[in-house]
Structure 1
Amino acid sequence: MQLDIIKGKPSNRDRDDILQLSELSFGTEAIERKRAAWDWMFSAPHVTSDQAAKTYMLRQQGQLVAVAILLPFVLKQQADLQPSYMVGFINVHPDKRGAGLRLMRQFLGEDHYLCGTPNSPKLVPLYGRFGTHQQTPLIRHFRPLRPGALLAKKLQLSAAVGTPVDLLWKLAGNLKLPNKTGTGSVQEIPRFDKRSDQLWQHIKEDFDLVFTRDAALLNWRYAEFPIPGYRLFYALDAAGSVQGHMVTKERRSNRRHQLSIVDLFCRPGDMDTFASLTRTAISLGTKRNVETLTALSGQYCWTTKAYKTAGLFTSRQSGAVLRNFDANGRCTTETDLARTPLFFTEGDMDTDF
């Protein structure tokens, strides 16, 4: 088999081969999202030529049988900003599973990286075979906004059956809902501005482990994402200073209609700002008539408790973030991911692309 490692954006021919292979595993809809986001995916800000995206392509007799794409990002770790990689995409031909193992041995032995993975009893140990032993669990949070509709779907009943339950739930909507405190406000915005840079510089040292969240990166990730759907919000104090931000996305399918808190960022422990943004999400979801509000957090991060305080329930362990070791078994960073609070949200994963 022939292994090619491409730095930067792959050629159009390689792109077409990757998408054709991926369609076998993920289906047409998922591949159309990736096709639409392809150019955007390789245009992240703050990326130097030394830290460009890397694509690993394994071919057998000219046919692409396995591919992995590692996307660059900057991780703020204690007092340092550290260039790292996220495994943003990996796929193997259904008939060539062994090729995937060879590919993983290759890229897991290079550089330092984080990898978000589903909570799979098979997948996590598989990464561990190649030197990845640290992980932090990811926790899914939810709040039913239309429990009657959810129950009717589960029991395969008419949607009208759930309407009285939804009305009663709405009337009792203050159940575990945070009270409004302070004199601040929440404002929807079209883009992030320099106030996000000021917020990031002001509070980044309060985090042990967090992805960079300045205006350039936030706009690239959300405002400039080629598939529309994100809504952006600032939390302001009485003087108009930004205390935090939130990004939401509404998702609808045959099985569910939900609003996700894709990103919620503020100073650790600032429950007034956190509650204000969460309350805005609950209100938005209620107005949009969605069935459920969801959010994601790292298990050891303060946000896990904050979501409970703000009126969301803990659903389950939804996945994990893994961190690699080098070829000699040494951890590639000093921070112990198994014990250090990782600030992590759904927006830090590749869910939408």
Structure 2
Amino acid sequence: MAFEIRKARDSDRPEIIGLIRDVFGDETADRAEARWSWQWHEDPKLEQRGYQGMVVVWEGQVIASMATIPAGLFVDGKPLPDVVWFADALAHWSRVRKALRSLRKSGLEEEGIDLSSGLVGAILNHPECPRYQLGKHLTDPMLVVAYKVGSVDQPGVGSWARTVSLKAVLGRHLGRPLGWLLGTVADLFLPSIPKSTQSVELHEGPFDARFDDLFENALQHHSAITRRDAATLNWRYRKNPDASYDVLSVSEAGVLQGYLILGRFDRHGQPRAHVLDLLARNNDPRILRLLLTECLRRLRGEGVTRLECYTGSKVVQSALESLGFRQRLHRGQPMPTVVRRLEVAELYVTRGDGDGG
């Protein structure tokens, strides 16, 4: 067949990397190449090693691809198979347009391909594409397609943010010594950060059996939650080939009560941070608030401008709002996680899920 949509193979790697290079340039392609083994061979959530996704092939050449990242979703304490995070589709659109013109001339019905929802819709509808599909931080065009094929917004998911410090903002305009000094004063007029009432530690080294125990506890308190055992956390946050993260933890009587994983980035010349993961034993709001408070305190000392937290948990959202966070909106709407063929009352999701962070 001259035109084909099929499940991707690891042997498609050169063409997928080449497609990334054509569309996004060398830097993004080199990063994808360097992360390939980590992403597609070392992830403990993989049922089988190798690239997971869909490709569109025309005249023997890959002209579009879409990664499907295993979610490791547990529903009512048990793993639900065939659940993936889908990423924005990657396409060499000049070749795609030529392929579609050729396909229309030959007759879509004869080829047995339904393009009524567009090419990306045809990928998502393909029988080899995993049944349960999740998506977040998608571009507007990708969201349109997701809705067209039947995806819906998961209730209660969104992003919360608050200003932490004005030191970097003023330092950028006034120079570091003066800006930092005035920023220290200006920070006093921002929403206050409570004093820590309990010791919070910086967890260094690998995630251990205590994190397995905490995840087992989480399965009892969250009806739908993605995998967060020690193996997954070590792969995601300790073995990542091009990023490093801070981990804050709280323990009582030797028992891990919760953790927070922090990632830093720069935007508009200002230091910012994301809460990539956050979990508390028994879904305890006191522990969540304690971790967030310590995170804010440390970031203010560093002069980080803004902290963001993406979550689907009402308890986490309540803790955030009590500390001065407000929900971020995009064009007046919350920043959604979309789900397809999946109905759960609450989805415990964070920015670190999928390809986030």
> CA 1:213 to 1:172, structure 2 compared with 1: closer, same or farther past 3 Å?
same
Could you say if the C-alpha distance between residues 137 and 58 of structure 1 is closer, same or farther in structure 2, counting changes exceeding 3 Å? farther
Matches of 2:58 and 2:33, distance apart in 1: 24
The 1-side partners of 2:51 and 2:355 are apart by: 14
- Equivalent residue for 1:242? 256
Q: How far 1:211 moved relative to its partner?
A: 0.3
User: Which amino acid counterpart does residue 92 of structure 1 have in structure 2?
Assistant: A
Count, aligned residues:
329
What SS does the aligned partner of 1:95 have? helix
Change beyond 3 A, Cα 1:4–1:341: closer
Alignment partner for residue 65 of structure 1, among 63, 66, 72?
A: 63
Give the deviation of 1:206 after TM superposition.
Answer: 0.5
- List aligned pairs for 1:213-232, cutoff 5 A: 213-232=228-247
Matches within 5 A, 1:1-353: 1-6=3-8, 10-11=10-11, 14-42=12-40, 43-49=42-48, 54-83=52-81, 84-88=83-87, 90-96=89-95, 101-109=118-126, 110-118=129-137, 122-136=141-155, 138-147=157-166, 149-150=168-169, 157-159=173-175, 162-163=179-180, 165-171=182-188, 175-181=191-197, 183-237=198-252, 239-253=253-267, 255-267=269-281, 269-298=283-312, 301-316=314-329, 319-325=335-341, 333=342, 336-337=343-344, 340-352=345-357
Shift of 1:26: 3.4
Displacement of 1:122: 4.3
Unaligned runs of 5+ in 1: 326-332
CA contact (8 A) 1:114 1:321 kept: no
Classify 1:180/1:280 alpha carbon distance in 2 versus 1 (closer, same or farther; 3 Å): closer
Percent sequence identity over matched residues?
Answer: 20
Q: In 2 relative to 1, CA 314–147 (structure 1 residues): closer, same or farther, beyond 3 Å?
A: farther
Structure index of larger Rg? 2
1:139–1:297 contact (8 Å) kept in structure 2: yes
- Whether the aligned pair in 1 keeps the contact of 2:88 and 2:142 (CA below 8 Å) is no
Greater helix fraction, Structure 1 or Structure 2: 2
Q: CA deviation at 1:307?
A: 0.9
Structure 2: stretches of 5+ with no match in the other structure:
101-114
- 2: CA distance between counterparts of 1:192 and 1:31? 30
TM-score, length basis structure 1? 0.81
Question: TM-score if structure 2 supplies the norm length?
Answer: 0.80
Are 2:193 and 2:323, in contact at CA under 8 Å, matched by a contact in 1? yes
CA change 1:164–1:314 in 2 (3 A) is farther
Question: 1 CA distance for matches of 2:167 and 2:195?
Answer: 25
- Cα gap change, 1:165 to 1:269, in 2 (>3 Å): farther
Point out the more displaced range, 104-113 or 256-265.
104-113
**Corresponding residue of 2:108:** none
User: Any idea what the Cα deviations from partners look like across 1:212-241, whole Å, max 9, x if unmatched?
Assistant: 11111111111111113212232112x121
